[in-house]
Structure 1
């Protein structure tokens, strides 16, 4: 969006110095001091947020760390629980038809998502008892008012902190890539916490308990990747449509939070309905429902990415004298930059 200009600047032919009249850039010592103070406050606030999140993360991960120290096999289960989510995030990264994203930014987004996930855990834990006071509808309201919005917001914050500001974030689809990585980070720490709690509460058969909860968390993880990739896609749209940035970010969060909360609110009912109508065991019915839900929501994300890829290819063809043969969906195009 073109920068708005004051009437004095618009009327000037460029021959007049309008510094401190209608334009400004740091020149004087006080200007430089102002810039330093502003940047200091900005970075200080970011540092405080990260420091608080880090402290909470250390506290929450203390139990999983001690468990792994006593029972090293649990570390394998922590890793296995994020394999499906990692594969899905890798697939979304692969579908980025523009340029490779820097590994440093991907890692930073993952780590920030891990840290900020603990902020969501604190908020959820603090507000949950208040919703428990509401009979019948309290749990459902909690999912739609707190869990969905808060968890999707902290994942998007992980993208917004660094990746969004980078020059490497140079295409709308990059938002989906970084959003998927943030979802992976969130799933990783959430899975570790759930598995450790289940193992601690198990009276006997730690291996069986770890296997069961790891299977469940492995199914849930891809959902986090899909939800935050959707929100991230709209964050990408916001970056390149600054006049509508606010509404676009809100739209992405609303969509992601709604599908996230809908999953939480319906997963038990969906499992029971499938088990009752198909005579499947509850465990298998849960697998069917979770995979089915993720496929439906994932198809929504897939269509957005596929449409972007088609338009990107069309734009490349329009810029050349002779078009190349059309590629099948998600085949690696020869024209892809840096890949």
Structure 2
């Protein structure tokens, strides 16, 4: 495979998934500039996370559970949470619950896309490997982003429960990301029997959260009221 082919296949899944979730916004799509900024922030996160993961592995060893939850899931999901909270959470463009999903997915897929490119070139991946990464790690990051963004949206628009949902915005992606990695590491020869139902669950749960976040949009209520008047 040529360098251009590998690069295209490594980038395409992240861009396709981000486009899918961006277009799921029913009422007021986010400014492209903001979405791309969060995507870029996600890419930048790869470098400090890789350094931190290397340090953690040196200190804690490579036990599958420790790697999955401490070295992989925790730093990746924490830094994504950190970026969303301090960059976009209080921004004026965050004006409906679904926006949290768009921005969190953008950060997550920015991270997953650059990580995919690095793996593709350093590990000399072939077509089948890149397709597998598209269906597993890249899709997984998108699902974790939906979880995170859904609860950021809840935190933004239910002030009485802000702290609870900010906690969920980190804790749930952290937990499921850890489970995801642990299955791949601990069930080497029969991982598909666990991963297939897990991915089905994550996708169905994510689509439910997408619909629920859209349904809670104040812009949607305004649109319905306008239709009634007409």
- When normalised by structure 1's length, the TM-score is 0.60
Q: Distance in 1 between matches of 2:190 and 2:229?
A: 51
Cα distance change, pair 311–162 in 1 and its aligned pair in 2 (3 A): closer
2:127 alignment partner, one of 211, 221, 224: 211
Match of 1:304 in 2: 209
Q: 2:103 aligns with which of 167, 175, 178?
A: 178
> Which of residues 8, 13, 18 is equivalent to 1:84?
13
2:114 alignment partner in structure 1 = 189
User: Number of paired residues?
Assistant: 228
Range that drifts further, 106-115 or 158-167: 158-167
Displacement of 1:189: 1.1
List aligned pairs for 1:214-229, cutoff 5 A: 214-219=130-135, 220-229=137-146
Q: Larger Rg: 1 or 2? A: 1
TM-score (norm 2): 0.86
8 Å contact kept, 2:64–2:185: no
Contact 1:198 1:210 in 2 (8 A): no
**Quick one: which of 161, 164, 169 aligns to 2:89?**
164
For residue 295 of structure 1, report the CA deviation from its aligned partner. 2.4
Higher relative contact order (CA 8 A, sep 6+): 2
- Cα gap change, 1:272/1:183 in structure 2, threshold over 3 Å: closer, same or farther? same
1:182·1:225 contact (CA, 8 Å) conserved in 2?
no
Question: 1:116 aligned to 2:22?
Answer: no
Partners of 1:83 and 1:293 in 2: CA distance: 23
**Is 1:249 matched up with 2:154?**
no
Q: Give the Cα–Cα distance (whole angstroms) in 1 for the partners of residues 229 and 185 of structure 2.
A: 51
What SS class does the counterpart of residue 165 from structure 1 fall into? coil
Give the corresponding residue for 1:16.
none
Match of 1:281 in 2: none
Whether the 8 Å contact between 2:183 and 2:195 is mirrored in structure 1 is: no
Native 8 Å contact 1:156 1:182 kept in 2: no
Alpha-carbon separation, structure 1, partners of 2:185 and 2:69? 16
Output the CA distance in 1 between the equivalents of 2:88 and 2:16.
Answer: 21
Q: Per-residue deviation at 1:144?
A: 1.6
The verdict on how the C-alpha distance between 1:192 and 1:221 changes in structure 2, with shifts beyond 3 A counting, is same
Does residue 98 in structure 1 map to residue 44 in structure 2?
no
Show the 5 A alignment for 1:1-339: 73-132=2-61, 138-199=63-124, 209-219=125-135, 220-269=137-186, 272-273=189-190, 286=192, 290=195, 292-312=197-217, 315-316=221-222, 319-320=225-226, 322=228
Structure 1 residue 123: Cα displacement? 1.0
Q: Which runs of 5+ in 2 are unaligned?
A: none
Give CA-to-partner distance per residue, 1:153-194, whole Å, 9 cap, x none.
Answer: 222333334333321110111000111111110011111221
> What stretches of structure 1 move > 6 A for 4+ residues in a row?
none
